[in-house]
Copies of this chain bind each other. A is one copy, B any other.
Amino acid sequence: MMISPKLIGSSTARILAVDLSRHVGEEVVIEGWLHRKRVLKSVVFLILRDRSGLSQVVVGEPRAMAEAGALTEETVLRISGTVTENPQAPGGFEVTSPVVTSLSGRVAPPPFDLYRPTVPATLPTILDHAPVALRHPRLRAQHAISAASVAGFRACLDSLGFTEVHTPKVVASATESGANVFAIDWFGSDAYLAQSPQFFKQAMVGVFERVYETGPVFRAEPHDTARHLAQYTSLDVELGFITDHREVMAVLREVLAAMTASVRKRATEACTLLEVDLPEVPERIPEIHFADAQALLAQHTSEDPRGEPDLAPAHERFLSEWALREHGSDFLFVTGYPMVKRPFYTHPEPGREAHSNSFDLLFRGLELVTGGQRLHRYDDYLAALAERGESPETYMGYLAAFRHGMPPHGGFALGLERWTARLTGADNIRRTTLFPRDLHRLTP
């Protein structure tokens, strides 16, 4: 065995851990991080980690054992050796007679053991050391599930005739309310980080009818909770030529089914590792009107929330449990939220104008998606703004789309990190965000 700090350009094709079984008896090259080292009396085991999994390497020659024993975990190695069947090795195969080369040079030991089955570190430690901590298979798995989810989201919408858009993240005025925006110095002018692509995606319905965007949104969220971030990834959808919010809910149902199927298929190992209980997405997700939900809460709990304009987190949990019990569903649509709690562009419920053609989707006790039908007539926008005492001047660019003809339309926004957290049972949304940004955290 030779440990050399130099990478020698080699034409030998590397194989991945997952492919060892197809090369029994052959000389192969594997490359990866030294995940774990086990020094026994007569042998040193090196466990090498690559993007596909782990390989066991057996070092038995005395001088090589000494060199292997001196290696620090997380050193990046190239190892050539012979693939040997061994029922006792993890996966049933191992690499013997290895020649080991270091690609990374000397490294410092990781801030905590990355090879432990559970993560031996607190959340702040994980976040402080994210560039290294995320290599832990359990932490990495969260993001494999996240990536698979987004792939399913896009594939579904592509198949339904949607077009992907990329909209500005810097705007001249706050999108939905004056609060919780980050101010930017824009070449000496005032500007703000976009809280959502809402106005842009609506305008783009006028161009492509059906659009989606997967991008960052920003909330200067002063609450330091397990479910709020200052930047998160919003999966945004908007579509035109609907009758009402029910067509939006139908699209959302397809999207959820596709995201779940994609996670099952593309992140199989991550799901196994995290023991993810993937939900069944019913053909028709059960729904309950806000007023009926309040009546249900009054009837079955010690509280009477009637008259309140919104649902408390405890109410959402109760309703989710009710949906699971009564309908066998992890998902529940609550429709008809009071207009007073919804943004000015919300379409009222015909014949019941204090309520709206909007919905929240609850998933295992938590609000995951908000959506609904929007106003689409210019005059209705002017009236809605006047009613809230807002000037149309502030919204000129946005209103242009409606002045020049927009169809009935609606859409929804789904927070990616929140979705992944609910799927994996993560207790904090920061566990499903690569490098979270919040009130207290701007690094790494």
Residues of A at the B interface (CB closer than 8 Å) are: 5, 7, 9-10, 14, 31, 33-34, 50-51, 74-76, 103-105, 107-110, 129-132, 134-135, 140, 143-144, 146-147, 150-151, 154, 158, 161, 163-172, 182-187, 189, 191, 193, 200, 203-204, 206-210, 215-216, 218, 220, 222, 230-231, 233, 241, 243-244, 376-379, 396-398, 400-401, 403-408, 416, 434-435, 437, 439, 442-444
Contacts and interface: CB of A to CB of B under 8 A. Distances in A.
Contacts of A108: 378, 403-404
Nearest to A208: B51
A163 B148 CA distance: 9
Copies of the chain in the assembly = 2
B140 A208 contact: yes
Given A31-B241, A51-B209, 15 more contacts: A7-B243, A104-B406, A108-B378, A132-B400, A134-B204, A134-B206, A143-B207, A150-B164, A151-B164, A170-B182, A170-B231, A183-B185, A204-B434, A396-B443, A396-B444
A333 B398 CA distance: 43
B110 A244 contact: no
Given A74-B404, A107-B405, A243-B7, A147 B167 contact: no
Given A183-B185, A405-B76, A442-B186, A233 B376 contact: no
Contacts of A151: 154, 158, 164
A169 B169 contact: yes
30 contacts: A9-B243, A50-B209, A51-B210, A74-B404, A76-B406, A103-B376, A103-B407, A107-B405, A108-B403, A108-B404, A131-B400, A132-B400, A140-B208, A143-B207, A144-B163, A150-B164, A166-B233, A166-B434, A168-B434, A168-B435, A169-B218, A170-B193, A170-B230, A172-B443, A182-B184, A183-B184, A184-B185, A186-B230, A187-B222, A397-B444
A204 to B, nearest CB: 7
Contact of A132 (B14, B132, B404): B404
A401 B76 contact: no
Nearest to A185: B183
Nearest to A194: B216
Which interface residue of A103, A166, A404 has the most chain B CB atoms within 10 A? A404
Given A185-B182, A404-B74, A397 B443 contact: yes
Contacts of A51: 161, 208-210
Contacts of A403: 107-108
Contacts of A50: 209
Contact of A164 (B147, B170, B378): B147
Given A51-B208, A134-B207, A193-B184, A171 B442 contact: yes
Contacts of A158: 151
B216 A377 contact: no
A122 B258 CA distance: 43
B444 A398 contact: yes
Given A104-B377, A200-B434, A209-B50, A231 B405 contact: no
A403 B193 CA distance: 34
B14 A241 contact: yes
Contacts of A203: 130-131, 134, 444
B104 A376 contact: yes
A204 B434 CA distance: 9
B105 A220 contact: no
Contacts of A222: 187
